Amino acid sequence: MKAVLVVLLSIMVAVPALAGPPANGTYNSTDIGGTMLPGRYSESYYPAKLSIDNTLNEQSWNGSVLGTQWWWYCPWINAAPALLVNTVNGAGNGIKVWRATYTGGYCWIDGAGPWAGGDASYLANIDTWNAIITETYAAFVEVGTVRNHDATATFVAYPDCMSLSITNAVKLGDTGDGPLPADYPSFWNWIGCFDQGPTGPGEWGDVEGITFTVDGCQTVKTEQSTWGNVKAMYRK
């Protein structure tokens, strides 16, 4: 009987966890009462703010390490941003509101996040990415910039099931003020989608107010991408 029990227990231990799509649901960042990590971002300039080909890189931030839970990278501005509102007066005080559209890029999420469904990680292709960028001016000097983003993406292995809203991405600095801080995501180059390191020009800031929705995932499984595989794809 003991021998039989040992065999049965061995079989039970050998059975792997079932793979599957991320769990449907809406996940909010901790700053608005959820369990998803907020993050940090950078945007490279080609060659200035609000230029075509400027490229985003956004990563989760747990207080000490970037990118442990999620990573959106490489969408780039594909057309000249549109100026929607301009209240800057003759004294140089007011706001400018821009709409920018991006193309390309990828989303990676850790399979152990609040959306856990069985895979080690999930990779998605970005379908749409739009930004409303509000600049505040005093005496013609930019004194604050806030971004609102909305995006959709399709998981590589599980089609049709992801949307993203970021209501508060706050610019903290740019390379006109100094170099990119070490604990912010590096700048990316849209040509070939590669990490160009801390070399600017570009800007950086915090990413908060995140609403991440997974809905309608299909269960057709192809091949999952691990975090190690994703990093290896873009290793210098």
Quick one: what percent of the chain has pLDDT higher than 70? Answer: 83
Instruction: Examine the pLDDT at 197 and tell me if it is beyond 70.
Output: yes
CA dist 170 → 4, 147, 166 (Å): 61, 6, 11
Q: Look at strands 66-77 and 82-86 and give their pairing.
A: unpaired
Q: Check residue 158 and give its pLDDT.
A: 84
Q: Check residue 21 and give its pLDDT.
A: 87
Instruction: Examine the pLDDT at 235 and tell me if it is beyond 60.
Output: no
What's the Rg (C-alpha) of the chain?
21
Q: Check residue 160 and give its pLDDT.
A: 63
In contact, 199 and 189? CB cutoff 8 Å: no
Largest CA distance in the chain: 91
- Residue 202 to residue 179: CA distance in whole angstroms: 9
Average pLDDT, the chain: 85
User: Which tokens go with 225?
Assistant: 């991408």
- Residue 34 to residue 26: CA distance in whole angstroms: 9
Q: Check residue 225 and give its pLDDT.
A: 38
98-124 pLDDT, tens per residue? Answer: 999 999 999 999 999 999 999 999 999
Q: What pTM, to 2 d.p., does this model score?
A: 0.83
17-63 pLDDT, tens per residue? Answer: 568 889 989 999 999 999 999 999 999 999 999 999 999 999 999 99
